[in-house]
Every structure is written in structure tokens, then in C-alpha cells.
């Protein structure tokens, strides 16, 4: 089973989303979501930038085969992770600037 949707759009971008069932071993399967962006490559038109995976039983309990909600959650999780990385990088940069401004005196 494989479902593909393009474009999937948010305020922050446009993605291709691929939802598929993956055989693991001994009859165990997982449901995967790949969030992809367009790329210029000889081998592929899209590049996977985020993957979300749930064992079959957890997927069925949480989403009850609602593939749309699963895809939305994956895209929003990706965007949240990017936002968190940007905030972390800003915090690091601000603290480095504060370090540079510190006169070295402990009061």
C-alpha cells in the first residue's frame, strides 16, 4: 500500500507526502510517512527531508487508518522541528554575543 499526494501546502512551503506500509520482519509492519521537497537531481525529482514511522498497531489505535491526519501530523512535526532548530540556533548566537560582551568580572 502506497499513497502519494503532491502538492501538500502550508503557510511555510509545499511538499510531496508519501504514506506507505513497510514490512519489517516476521509479519511486523509499520506505517511510514515521508515528507519530501522538490530537488534537481538526475535520479529523483523529490528529496525526503522528514520521516515519521509508527508500528501498525499504534497507527491503527492513534489514526484508525486516517491517512490524511497522519500526513498532516508528519508535515506539521517537520515544520515544528525546523522552528525549534531556528530558535535554538538564535539562542546559541545570542549567548555567544553575550559572551563576547562580557567583561569577565564575576560580582
In a domain, 39, yes or no: yes
**20 located within any domain:** yes
Residue 29 in any domain: the answer is: yes
Residue 106 lies in a domain: no
Domain membership of residue 30 (yes or no) is: yes
In a domain, 70, yes or no: yes
Return d(Cα 67, Cα 78) in angstroms, integer.
17
Within 10 angstroms of residue 59's Cβ, the number of other Cβ atoms is 22
Residue-averaged pLDDT of the chain: 92
Place of cell 512535526: 77
DSSP summary character for residue 39 = -
Number of domains in the chain: 1
Domain holding 39, by residue range, is 2-100
Tell me what pLDDT residue 37 has: 94
> 11-31 pLDDT, tens per residue?
999 999 999 999 988 888 999
Whether 53 shows a pLDDT value over 90: the answer reads: yes
- What average pLDDT does this structure show over 62-90? 93
Amino acid at each position: 500500500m502506497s499513497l502519494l499526494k503532491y502538492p501538500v501546502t502550508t503557510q511555510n512551503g509545499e511538499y510531496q507526502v508519501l504514506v506507505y506500509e513497510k514490512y519489517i520482519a516476521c509479519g511486523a509492519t509499520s506505517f511510514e510517512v515521508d515528507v519530501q521537497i522538490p530537488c534537481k537531481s538526475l535520479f529523483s525529482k523529490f528529496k525526503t527531508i522528514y520521516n515519521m514511522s509508527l508500528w501498525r498497531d499504534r497507527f491503527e489505535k492513534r489514526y484508525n487508518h486516517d491517512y490524511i491526519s497522519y500526513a498532516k501530523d508528519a508535515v506539521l512535526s517537520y515544520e515544528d522541528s525546523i522552528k525549534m532548530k531556528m530558535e535554538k540556533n538564535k539562542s546559541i548566537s545570542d549567548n555567544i554575543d553575550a559572551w563576547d560582551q562580557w567583561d569577565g568580572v564575576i560580582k
